[in-house]
């Protein structure tokens, strides 16, 4: 079975990576779908996000990283995948994730969503928290993959964060 793990990944965190590492055990192949999401005005460009994820998952087999800017169900059709993988942290994620899963199923009745829970040490970790800590000069090295840390450091050095 082929699954797609969609998200903005601005930037990828150890929580995202934890979900990917659990997903590769469950599925024959996994595509990390990086949503361009211009509306959210991401800190990292779509190319940067795809690059840093590729470098962070290079140790895993059967994982591909692809950008998309269309509707998730259309991206899934083009990739011939019926399963959406999403991460569930606290209860606060649940309502939004349920809405999203049911909407995706309405748009494509064959679309099923699978939720995985990360290790509890990542429950309170989010991309927005990483951006906030980096912006204020804090150390994020235990919270993101080493390759992501390099991209954050470059942005900080150039004064872009």
Q: Which of residues 9-68 bind ligand ADP (CB under 6 A)?
A: 9, 13, 15-16, 19
Q: Which of 127, 149, 151, 155 binds ligand ADP (CB under 6 A)?
A: 127
Annotated catalytic residue 59: no
Distance of CA 152 to the CA centre of its chain: 16
Nearer to ligand ADP (CB atom), residue 19 or residue 65: 19
Minimal distance in Å, beta carbon 144 to ligand ADP? 11
> In whole angstroms, how large is the CA radius of gyration of the chain?
15
Instruction: Choose the stretch contacting ligand ADP; rule: CB under 6 A; options: 43-51, 56-64, 120-128, 132-140.
Output: 120-128
Instruction: Supply the minimum distance, in Å, between the C-beta of residue 18 and ligand ADP.
Output: 6
Determine if 93 is a binding residue for ligand ADP (CB under 6 A). yes
The residue annotated as part of the active site, out of 49, 56, 86, 127, is: 127
Q: Which is nearer to ligand ADP, 42 or 159 (CB)?
A: 42
Contact indicator for 17, 57 with CB cutoff of 8 Å? yes
> Could you give the dihedral angle defined by the CA atoms of residues 34, 60, 144 and 48, in that order, rounded to the nearest 10 degrees?
-40
Report which of 52, 2, 54 is spatially closest to residue 23, judged by C-alpha positions. 2
**Lookup result for tokens 């999203």:** 100
**Marked catalytic residue, from 49, 86, 89, 131:** 89
Q: Spell out the residues 6+ positions from residue 103 whose beta carbon is closer than 8 angstroms to its own.
A: none
Identified binder of ligand ADP from the candidate list 23, 33, 42, 118, rule CB under 6 A: 118
Side-chain-side CA neighbours of 110 within 13 Å: the count stands at: 8
**HSE of 48, CA atoms in CB hemisphere, 13 A:** 14
Question: Hey, which residues are catalytic here?
Answer: 16, 40, 89, 127
Residues near ligand ADP (CB under 6 A): 7-9, 13, 15-16, 19, 86-87, 89, 93, 118, 122, 125-127
């Amino acid at each position: 079975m082929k699954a797609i793990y969609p998200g903005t990944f601005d930037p990828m965190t150890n929580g995202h990576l934890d979900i990917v590492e659990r997903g590769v055990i469950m599925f024959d192949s996994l595509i990390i779908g990086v949503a361009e999401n211009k509306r959210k005005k991401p800190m990292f460009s779509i190319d940067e996000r795809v690059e840093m994820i590729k470098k962070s998952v290079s140790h895993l087999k059967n994982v591909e990283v692809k950008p998309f800017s269309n509707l998730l169900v259309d991206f899934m059709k083009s990739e011939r995948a019926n399963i959406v993988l999403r991460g569930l942290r606290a209860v606060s994620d649940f309502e939004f994730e349920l809405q999203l899963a049911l909407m995706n199923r309405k748009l494509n009745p064959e679309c099923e969503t699978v939720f995985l829970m990360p290790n509890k040490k990542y429950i309170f970790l989010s991309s927005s928290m990483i951006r906030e800590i980096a912006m204020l000069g804090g150390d994020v090295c235990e919270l993101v993959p080493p390759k992501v840390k390099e991209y954050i450091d470059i942005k900080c050095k150039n004064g872009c964060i």
